[in-house]
Structure 1
Amino acid sequence: MTSAQAHDFTSLYRHGFVRVASAVPVVRVADPEFNCDATLALARRAAADGVAITVFPELGFSAYTADDLFHQNALQGAVDDAVARFVHESADLPGVFAIGAPQRFEGRLFNCGIVVHRGQVLGVVPKSYLPGYREFYEKRQFVAARDAVSERVLVAGQDAPFGSDLLFAAPNVPGLVFHVEICEDGWVPVTPSGFGALAGATVLLNLSASNIVIGKAGYRRNLCTNHSARYIAAYLYSAAGPGESTTDLAWDGQAVIAENGSLLAEGERFESNQLVTADVDLERLAADRLRMTSFNDNAHDHRERLKRFRRVDFELELPPGPVRLRREIQRFPYVPANTADRNERCREVHHIQVQGLTQRLAATGIEKVVIGVSGGLDSTQALIIAAQSMDKLGLPRENVLAYTMPGFATTNHTLTNAHKLMKALGTSAHEIDIRPSARQMLADLGHPAADGSPVYDVTFENVQAGERTSHLFRLANHHGALVVGTGDLSEQALGWATYGVGDQMSHYNVNASVPKTLIRYLIAWEVATEQLGEGADEVLRSILATEISPELVPGDGPDSGPSQSSEAKVGPYELQDFHLYYLLRFGYRPSRIAYLAQHAWGDVNAGRWPDLVPESERNSYDLPTIKKWLREFLWRFIQTSQFKRSAMPNAPKVGSGGSLSPRGDWRAPSDASARAWLDELEANVPG
């Protein structure tokens, strides 16, 4: 890594990314000089674009369709000269290039991938599996890797390692280890790249030819993405294209880059001289492999074979200057931006929540639930789930005993919405004014607010929260019911809940692993799909437009709006949910989370917004603001709030993004220090 990249916060190479490319040059059959020129032209384009690894098609220096011309000495001599010229002329280009060429060793002809970096041949990888069926006759000209005797060969005047057991590693770019296979190697049941991945390769290259027939492009695309998912790796695929002989076949030049099951980039087929690039996330791959214990168990089962892999270390010469990330980072990692995907996500979460509550009621034999309704987002979603759980159980919605409990700071707006919501959903609807009992508690404590003094400290706030929870649990005792909790994943992460009260404690919590950003869209989905009727839709829209507030400190009056803003205290939920996802799901360093957040949130035109968010509600955050709220998040999440999560009630996990249940995804000490995280943030994030 260059000095500029090491110190420039905006460079992708500083944050665990690497830019890769799949190149498809136009070729001429049996014209190595022309093919070398075309390959060099794309290699120069890749270097200018900051690419670290570029893969080219199978047998690209001769063309794949040379047939029996492969056995002609003149062609092989021209190929050897062209390969030597490429090695020499690419010496001034940063990055690694995997080129395809026939190579003669030990009196045999091998179909090879040749790995070149800065004028050095790092290694030569022969094809392991030669197709000899349908239109393929490779065994007529070539032999397989297993037929080789030597482990080193001479290429372009250089002695280089030879074999399918090579791993190429750049220690100066953490996590960058790549493996090479050729075409059919990726089509067999147990692929060479699979063993390469188990041996440590995070990037898998496939130099391919693969003629085109109807339906094959989709199959190849799926093959690449599935390999990347199965091997928790990036998979780069380059297939022969224009210029190959069409005597009997046609060639589309498919170029694919996939990462852990996702298609990052794909070129336009049937086009000449393509260079398809993508920025691969090496740290994400490492994080997934670290957590997937079965991946490592599988490697253990093949340890004798994996021990035979040879590692070729090299100092990767990266392009000078910072390289800016071109990968799209979703602003809302818990909320798909696409309407169809988002609707499916909301439908799935809804069913998981309903299933969780109905199973708990069925298992206990309890037919009633008690729930506090504030007129805010979380209690709204919990009330919807409670009502629809009764529907599923064949019980009347009146079995949902819903209570709104106004306190000293409750506004008319939220109180009205709470009543409208209970009525619209057809639940039992009750109101208990907690102010008398709260005043009595304050008086018992000797608190000045009992006499009306405006002392609005934490005791004043938590007396109200505690009174509400006490009523709910005693109501559950009285009616033989179960208390449904309302607190969400975001509040649990930030500790924005009073210990032992309704946001933190209940008999069963349906929202505990649903983040605040997704809660909002779940309610919007209920409106959009009109599942609850027109009466409910109107109040749900009003609730969605309500500022998030605990409503515990009085304002100027019940019609003046809330005097407290949750987001002013703990940070914007949309940004804190972003931080939570990457810390919880991948364990990233704070500086990397800040880098991703800046890329996603630093410009209103970057990233993607769920399409139902109007322009007027779209925010952006500069790096100092991101750093400020990330600091707040880390301190709260690591150091101050774990003791609350350690006492969480049962709740269903809804997403792969993780939950904070002490019995599920997250087990942590309650007395940990956040110093390591905060120091890393301060040391590595400017602003």
Structure 2
Amino acid sequence: MRFDNLYSHDFARLAVGLPLCRVADPAFNAEQTISLLTQAAADDVAVMAFPELGLSAYSCDDLFHQRALLDGCEAALAAVLAASAALPTVAVVGMPLRVEQRLFNCAVVLQRGRILGVVPKTFLPSYGEFYEARQFSSGEEATVATVSLLGQQVPFGSRQIFTAEDLPLLRLHVEICEDVWTPIPPSSFAALAGATVLVNLSASNVVIGKAGYRRQLVSQQSARCLAAYVYSSAGAGESTTDLAWDGQALICENGELLVESERFQRRSQLVTADVDLERLARERMRQTSFGQSVRLHAAQLAAFRHVDFRLALDRDKPLALRRRVERFPYVPADPGRRDERCQEVYNIQVQGLTQRLASSGIHKLVVGVSGGLDSTQALLVAARAMDALGLPRTNIIGVTMPGFATGERTREQARRLMAAVGCEAREIDIRPSCTQMLKNIGHPHSDAKPVYDVTFENVQAGERTSHLFRLANLEGGMVLGTGDLSELALGWCTYGVGDHMSHYNVNASVPKTLIQHLVRWVAERGLLGAGTDTQVLLDILDTEISPELVPGSLQSTQATVGAYALQDFNLFSTLRYGYAPAKIAFLAQHAWHDTYALAEIKRVLRIFVQRFFKGSQFKRSCVPNAPKVGSGGSLSPRGDWRAPSDSEAAVWLADLDRIPDEHA
């Protein structure tokens, strides 16, 4: 299996075919169906759904009881079945079927000339414009479990799950139209029984507002079931004697709409989407309430039959992912959603901090202000918290503490920022105390012969933290932490000092890429207040991220730990979905191919794996309290992430090495 083939990473390409139809013309409808099925197979589609009663057309009414039409539908099915003989794609087609002197509205699941099963519709609408109970029987009234169809003995019933032996996470269940409109759809039980892809063959005429309702219905069913949901509906060619048809096709994944057809088209349509089966399986494993529901409904789930098939798709060729993968998973690409996200994050951070101040009875905050990104965000949150509590911003003591390598730019930015916020501003030169500390511990550094090692760096970080805590003691205040989620993930923080330890940290679950947007959001909207120096925020955003601890040259953090854009992508994929490194690299290449070569993606991911899984957990095991901000997770040992401090990274590194050299 190739690394650059989507099926190698547990994706499945799903499709909906909306063929032109003619009412009561099965031969024509079969031709249109075969044409779309052939196109889908050429496009490496695994599963394809067609509309309800598509071989006959839905709007036949009492013509469904005519033998000629029913015989024609079976002949049409035979044609589709024959055409499928050499195709790996599983097709789900709709037709009326006679079983035991009754007529059922059915979905026929077929592949490679084999009928895998027949699923009858369970719930028959007989209200408003619908009269299905006049022509059809419910699948619950069936008295047989198998039927003879086109010379094959075929499973018959609504409780079937079709599983791909060579893609085990692809487990298919089929329901028909009205089934999903009921309080407890059959697909809900199917999902609990293991189905990951839920298919609905629908006709569904259109009236004002119905398209939006369908969209909500399908999206929510996919979310509740932690599944993909494939929905087809009838379009051009259905009878318009009393109704109209829009041909709406939808593919959703866990509440997210992946693709939708163009409605009201007088042409056949084929829409596809690549569904992440592993994501669905991961969510079911993570959400323990899903497993509890399985236990509660064990009796109903035992009735499901499992039918196996093989896709035998070509995995030895490149097959690119056809799906939007967000470059910045923590930051919405849509400007409107991004603004909403920024507002929500600030509200969460401010609510957490105001509650801590109120419950502790402390009314002062001490913040170390470096002129860099993280301390800027912490200071902005502190200012909003004071506003919310009706306290003056002068209750915030901002302290900038220049050291041996502090640049004039960041030093001036710290001063400007504190003035813009309106907090009390102090400046403490830590160089004398650091020099004394280096002497006290016998460090060989001297002006004549400088030694810039990790001790030299951490003495400065430690002195800053010591000053902040002692100042908080003196002023009766609380030290506000500044370290962010990205730094915690990479272990890019000094144990026990300001970017790691504080009385309370508002940034601990906010990644670096999101902090950048939060600061920009305040700057662009002038939220610091009229007449203030908003430009300072933009200047801070344009400043190279650096610890500024070694004189003589600029220390670039991203040159050491990798680009934060990639590392936050790696973190989200690891923390939220538990993906293995090879899949993360596959997704990152899809998202970032025009910016980073795969070799660079792999290099940065290796840094992440080594730092995240080995050597940094001991720092995360003792972080201060902080509010969780997003569903992307936090690294609090009291919340989302519990892990041993002495684990190994070998299995993750081995998976990363699955990427062949020729691709990197």
User: Which residue among 528, 532, 535 is the counterpart of 1:535?
Assistant: 532
Q: Does 1:602 align with 2:593?
A: yes
Q: Which amino acid aligns with 2:380?
A: I
Aligned equivalent of 2:404: 408
Aligned equivalent of 2:30: 36
Matches within 5 A, 1:107-146: 107-146=101-140
Of 24-33 and 484-493, more deviation after overlay is shown by 24-33
Aligned equivalent of 2:209: 215
Aligned equivalent of 2:636: 661
How many percent of aligned residue pairs carry the same amino acid?
A: 62
Q: Does 1:470 align with 2:470?
A: no
CA distance in 2, matches of 1:529, 1:685: 47
CA contact (8 A) 1:278 1:326 kept: yes
User: Which residue among 559, 577, 590 is the counterpart of 1:568?
Assistant: 559
Matches within 5 A, 1:195-594: 195-271=189-265, 272-319=267-314, 321-533=317-529, 534-555=531-552, 563-594=554-585
Question: Deviation per CA, 1:302-327, whole angstroms, max 9, x where unpaired?
Answer: 01100110000111132573321110
CA contact (8 A) 2:16 2:272 kept: yes
Secondary structure of 2:619's aligned partner: helix
Q: Which amino acid aligns with 2:219?
A: T
Give the TM-score of the pair, scaled to structure 2: 0.98
Question: Deviation per CA, 1:97-119, whole angstroms, max 9, x where unpaired?
Answer: 00001110111100000000100
CA contact (8 A) 1:175 1:282 kept: yes
Q: Which amino acid aligns with 2:245?
A: W
CA contact (8 A) 1:378 1:486 kept: yes
Q: Structure 1 segments of 4 or more deviating over 4 A? A: none
CA contact (8 A) 2:166 2:312 kept: no
Secondary structure of 1:487's aligned partner: coil
Deviation of 1:439 after TM superposition, in Å, equals: 0.4
Q: Which amino acid aligns with 1:371?
A: V
Secondary structure of 1:673's aligned partner: coil
Secondary structure of 1:283's aligned partner: helix
CA contact (8 A) 1:408 1:552 kept: yes
Aligned equivalent of 1:48: 42
Aligned equivalent of 1:68: 62
CA contact (8 A) 1:225 1:262 kept: yes
Secondary structure of 2:331's aligned partner: coil
CA distance in 2, matches of 1:528, 1:293: 42
Aligned equivalent of 1:644: 619
CA contact (8 A) 1:24 1:241 kept: yes
CA distance in 1, matches of 2:134, 2:658: 61
Superposition CA RMSD, Å? 1.0
User: Which residue among 584, 597, 601 is the counterpart of 1:622?
Assistant: 597
User: Which residue among 71, 77, 87 is the counterpart of 2:71?
Assistant: 77
CA distance in 1, matches of 2:231, 2:350: 43
Deviation of 1:406 after TM superposition, in Å, equals: 0.4
Q: Which amino acid aligns with 2:541?
A: L
CA distance in 2, matches of 1:12, 1:182: 29
Question: Deviation per CA, 1:338-375, whole angstroms, max 9, x where unpaired?
Answer: 11111110000011111111110000000101111000
Question: What is the number of equivalent residue pairs in this alignment?
Answer: 659
Secondary structure of 1:103's aligned partner: strand
Deviation of 1:453 after TM superposition, in Å, equals: 2.1
Deviation of 1:174 after TM superposition, in Å, equals: 3.1
Aligned equivalent of 1:10: 4
Secondary structure of 1:406's aligned partner: coil
Deviation of 1:663 after TM superposition, in Å, equals: 0.2
Aligned equivalent of 1:180: 174
Secondary structure of 2:107's aligned partner: strand
Secondary structure of 1:535's aligned partner: coil
CA contact (8 A) 1:602 1:621 kept: yes
Secondary structure of 1:407's aligned partner: coil
CA distance in 1, matches of 2:113, 2:11: 24
User: Which residue among 79, 83, 88 is the counterpart of 2:82?
Assistant: 88
CA distance in 2, matches of 1:330, 1:579: 12
CA contact (8 A) 2:282 2:578 kept: yes
Deviation of 1:451 after TM superposition, in Å, equals: 4.7
CA distance in 2, matches of 1:453, 1:387: 43
Question: Deviation per CA, 1:248-277, whole angstroms, max 9, x where unpaired?
Answer: 111111111111111100111121211111
CA distance in 1, matches of 2:319, 2:151: 34
Deviation of 1:538 after TM superposition, in Å, equals: 1.3
Q: Which amino acid aligns with 1:384?
A: L
Secondary structure of 2:460's aligned partner: helix
Aligned equivalent of 1:159: 153
Secondary structure of 2:175's aligned partner: strand
Q: Which amino acid aligns with 1:428?
A: E
CA distance in 1, matches of 2:615, 2:153: 59
CA distance in 1, matches of 2:557, 2:320: 35
Deviation of 1:296 after TM superposition, in Å, equals: 1.2
Q: Which amino acid aligns with 2:646?
A: D
Deviation of 1:155 after TM superposition, in Å, equals: 1.4
CA contact (8 A) 2:419 2:425 kept: yes
Deviation of 1:221 after TM superposition, in Å, equals: 1.1
Deviation of 1:452 after TM superposition, in Å, equals: 4.5
CA distance in 2, matches of 1:364, 1:178: 54
CA distance in 1, matches of 2:149, 2:320: 35
CA contact (8 A) 2:546 2:557 kept: yes
CA distance in 1, matches of 2:320, 2:651: 27
Deviation of 1:662 after TM superposition, in Å, equals: 0.3
Secondary structure of 2:117's aligned partner: strand
Q: Which amino acid aligns with 1:103?
A: L
Deviation of 1:423 after TM superposition, in Å, equals: 0.9
Q: Which runs of 5+ in 1 are unaligned?
A: 1-5, 556-561, 604-619
CA contact (8 A) 2:22 2:237 kept: yes
CA distance in 1, matches of 2:200, 2:408: 65
Secondary structure of 1:580's aligned partner: helix
User: Which residue among 15, 21, 25 is the counterpart of 2:15?
Assistant: 21
CA distance in 2, matches of 1:575, 1:685: 20
Q: Which amino acid aligns with 2:579?
A: Y
CA distance in 2, matches of 1:322, 1:166: 33
Aligned equivalent of 1:612: none
CA contact (8 A) 1:47 1:319 kept: no
Q: Which amino acid aligns with 1:512?
A: A
